[in-house]
Structure 1
């Protein structure tokens, strides 16, 4: 078994970034804001690119291969923002090197791959978590509290959407063999959000998709049926104007959450009562940095032994639903889940 990272000595976790992906720009500032984390290294398969990235972001270490970063004993946590098909292989390699891992969503494309990660993490004694940043935002917690507390009456329907126009022809999301497509990239958010708020797993799903010229879904619409006759519908895609929203409909009210996955203070939630046409704003203290809660949660899991907000069991459950939705869209039939 590899030697565990030296987190018991240093209260700050030292992070290494696998790759120079755009999303790194969102993670480095909160790592610097956090009292328990710090970014120290970046790796690329192009040494010059890694060095340039390190200079731009003032990182003390740059590596010309992912393997060299994983071999660095001073790295405690590895962030994996690579294309979807590389998430599991490099998460497993990081775990084998004794590193904790924050892996971008979707962590895996099959439940079996999540199981492999879970077994490896357990054997190595490290923490692995999927990077759904919205889960760490106070607005998400407030939505769940309101619905669980009966603020809308009995919950009947959940609606979600995440779309934008993807017009970069060489984008990795166009490649089916790399886990491309809008469901894996965007639909995972409303599916995850719905499951989290309902607090249960769907009993059955049904879906339609529109395929693009490369064979990935460019538009996707899904339905989910939950216990207690709670229904959910969502859509995602690469060919419609930007939308990022969730809505929850109950017997006595409606709660709308604009920009649900990346909230902004200037767009608060709106709550409608039983017979009210004018909404009441639902205000929540928004953190200065959306991703700060994500890295602080990982630090709490590593340093304090607290389970991460998004456990591997939950990652597996979300993957099961996404895989079933894809199967339904491909066959034109509903899929029942145990």
Structure 2
């Protein structure tokens, strides 16, 4: 498989909401050609291709991976299938961009990394937040001392996507608010504060093992901390902030896709009455910066992107594993009192 000149022929595996957003933003991405889409329902694949300008529709993953016109695939399927499809795609000679979480465990992440190394192809988790210009400015400002020494992070992603007993969430699909929503607050904490020394987590977990709501505290040796929350059944204000010795920065909802943030620094009187706004224009649905960077990396025959390496993804998965372990401990789940 080779890339086609300066263009990369993209395929999308899956036809859900994320796939629709990705397809629309591929249209705005220089060097990206919308080549193929696949769904288990051939009629749905054909309708998706017609609506969003893809050249070919396939009725199975196997058929798509056998398509020699496809250079790279975006994998937007249930969490539990990400690793297996990514490895199969790499072995079929396709570059891969994998909807977050890249895998359901750090070990699965390492398996993908080994497959990418063996094939010499590009592989990355689609952590699009890290390519968001406003987010990049926020992290750079925090690291450069814009608010002094950063002492804490607060971030939440809680939205009621369905009832607690929804049948579309299953353990077999690895449905999980920690993996789906919680990965964003965790990534912010890691980017600003680094890896924690202790993790404490509580939450609401169904009898079948699907976590619905998670509250985690990351603790650091020098008394820094992060307070993180995620839910797929209730609202938890989806904003974020980083606080330091000289002030704080606040990101509006939804923080993982925000195009701006505000900074307040100085004396108490000044910090409470003055703010500096940093703003960037949004491109498409927000995925364009990531898709542009990945398309260029593939065209240049690179196997990773420095903004979000496979090692970064595996490190995040290791922390998510630790949160899950804390959540599953006997003392983690609150007991009802009467």
SS at structure 2 position matched to 1:277 = helix
Give matches, 1:232-311, under 5 Å.
232-241=226-235, 243-258=237-252, 259-264=254-259, 268-275=261-268, 276-289=271-284, 290-304=286-300, 305=302, 307-308=304-305, 309-311=307-309
In the alignment, structure 1 residue 137 sits paired with structure 2 residue 128? no
Distance 1:228 1:274 in 2: 24
In the alignment, structure 1 residue 71 sits paired with structure 2 residue 66? yes
Distance 1:29 1:238 in 2: 25
In the alignment, structure 1 residue 57 sits paired with structure 2 residue 52? yes
Shift of 1:271: 2.6
Matched with 1:88 is: 83
One of 156, 175, 199 as aligned partner of 1:161? 156
Matched with 1:47 is: 42
Shift of 1:301: 2.2
TM-score, normalised by the number of residues in structure 1? 0.91
Distance 2:39 2:116 in 1: 24
In the alignment, structure 1 residue 13 sits paired with structure 2 residue 11? no
Distance 1:61 1:100 in 2: 18
Matched with 1:121 is: 116
Specify whether residues 279 and 217 from structure 1 end up closer, same or farther in structure 2 by C-alpha distance, changes over 3 A only. Answer: farther
Deviations 1:238-296 (A, max 9, x none): 2322632211111110111112211146xx43435440212413222223221111111
4+ residue runs over 3 A deviation: 168-172, 212-215, 226-229
Distance 1:33 1:56 in 2: 15
- Cα RMSD of the aligned pairs, angstroms, is 1.9
User: Quick check: 145-154 or 119-128, which moved more?
Assistant: 145-154
Q: How many residues align?
A: 325
Deviations 1:56-89 (A, max 9, x none): 2121100111111111111000110000000001
Deviations 1:301-334 (A, max 9, x none): 2123374121110110000000100110111569
Shift of 1:227: 5.3
Distance 2:265 2:159 in 1: 27
Deviations 1:68-114 (A, max 9, x none): 11111110001100000000010011001010000001111111111
Preserved CA contact (<8 Å) 2:121 2:303: no
Matched with 2:30 is: 35
Distance 2:7 2:180 in 1: 31
User: Quick check: 213-222 or 105-114, which moved more?
Assistant: 213-222
Preserved CA contact (<8 Å) 2:183 2:320: yes
- Which runs of no fewer than 5 residues in structure 1 stay unpaired? none
Shift of 1:178: 1.5
Preserved CA contact (<8 Å) 1:208 1:332: no
In the alignment, structure 1 residue 226 sits paired with structure 2 residue 220? yes
SS at structure 2 position matched to 1:40 = strand
Deviations 1:9-28 (A, max 9, x none): 41110011111121112111
Specify whether residues 95 and 307 from structure 1 end up closer, same or farther in structure 2 by C-alpha distance, changes over 3 A only. Answer: closer
